[in-house]
Amino acid sequence: MVDGAGHYPSFAVVALGARGVCKSLRAPGRPVAHGMLPIDAGVTAMGKALAAWLLVAAAMAAPATNPRAVVQGAVTRVVSVLQDDFVAAHLDRPRTEMRRAEIRRVARELFDFDEMARRTLTRHWNGRTPEERAEFVQLFTDLLERAYIARVEPFAGERIIYTGEAVDGPYATVRSRILTRRPTEIAMDYRLMLRDGRWRAYDVLVDGVSFVATFRTEFERIIQQSSYAGLIDKLRKRTT
C-alpha cells in the first residue's frame, strides 16, 4: 500500500540485524583483540543489514520523483529476486547462483558504495590513493554481499508502515516502522542522496542506530589498534 502497510519479505532482516549490529560486531562476552576484526561475530548482522540496502536499492532503479514514492514503489522489484532465490535454493543450484548473481548486479549498480565507504573511513579516506580506495570499496562490498547471501534466505515477510519523508536539498530521509510478528515495533529510516538525477541510499538507521556509523566506529578501532593495512589484511582474509 502506498501510504499504509503491506507485507514485504526481508524487512525483518533489517530490523533484526541493524538493531543489534553494535553488539554483534564483537563475539559475545569477549573484548576485541588488538588487530582483530570481529567479522565472524558480525556476519549475521551485516548480512541482515545488507538486505535493507537491497530493498533501498530497488528505489534507485528509475529516475527520482520523490524519495518516499521511490522507496515504496520499487521495493517489490528486489523482493521478487529474493523470493525466486529462496525457491531456487531448494530446487536447482545453478538457478540459485543465477539469482545470487542478479542480486550482486543490482547491489553493485544501484548502491552508492563509494559514498558508504568514504563515510565509514572518514579521515582515513582522504589519505588513501585511488587504488587503495578502489580496493577498500571492493572488499567492503564483497563482505556485505557474502554476509547477505548467506543469511537472507531464512527470513519471511514483516509488516511495514511508511510514516513520513523529509527532503533537504539533495538529501532525504524516508521514515518507516516495522511491525513484526513477535510482536514488536521497530523504527527504520532510509537516508538517501540525490545524485545524477537519482536517489541513492547511503545509510539506514534502525531504532536510531546508523549502519554506516557502526562500521565507522569498528574500523576506526581496528586502525587505531593496528593500522589501515591491518584492517585491509583482515578484510582480505574474510572475503577470499
The whole-angstrom distance between residue 201's C-alpha and the CA centroid of its chain comes to 9
Provide the pLDDT confidence category of residue 51 given band limits of 50, 70 and 90: low
Q: Can you give the three-state secondary structure of 83-150, one letter per residue?
A: HHHHHHCCCCHHHHHHHHHHHHHHHHHHCCHHHHHHHHHCHHHHCCCHHHHHHHHHHHHHHHHHHHHH
Residues pairing with 157 in the sheet? 9
pLDDT at position 192 is: 92
For each of the domains in the chain, give its residue range(s) and CATH number, in order of start.
5-238 (3.10.450.710)
CA neighbor of 52 nearest in space, from 194, 163, 165, 187: 187
Cell of 190: 532510509
**Residue-wise pLDDT tens digits, 99-147:** 777 767 766 766 788 898 999 999 999 999 999 999 999 999 887 777 6
Decide if pLDDT at 172 tops 90: yes
Q: What is the DSSP string of 50-82?
A: HHHHHHHHHTTSS--S-HHHHHHHHHHHHHHHH
> End-to-end distance of the chain based on CA atoms, in angstroms?
41
Model confidence pTM above 0.75: no
Provide the pLDDT confidence category of residue 13 given band limits of 50, 70 and 90: very low
Instruction: Specify the DSSP element, H or E, that contains 219.
Output: helix 211-225
95 class by beta-carbon count within 10 Å (0-12 exposed, 13-18 middle, 19+ buried): middle
CA neighbor of 64 nearest in space, from 7, 108, 110, 107: 110
H helices, E strands: number in the chain: 10, 6
Decide if pLDDT at 12 tops 50: no
The mean predicted confidence, pLDDT, of the chain is 71
Dist CA 210 CA 6 (whole Å): 24
pLDDT at position 16 is: 39
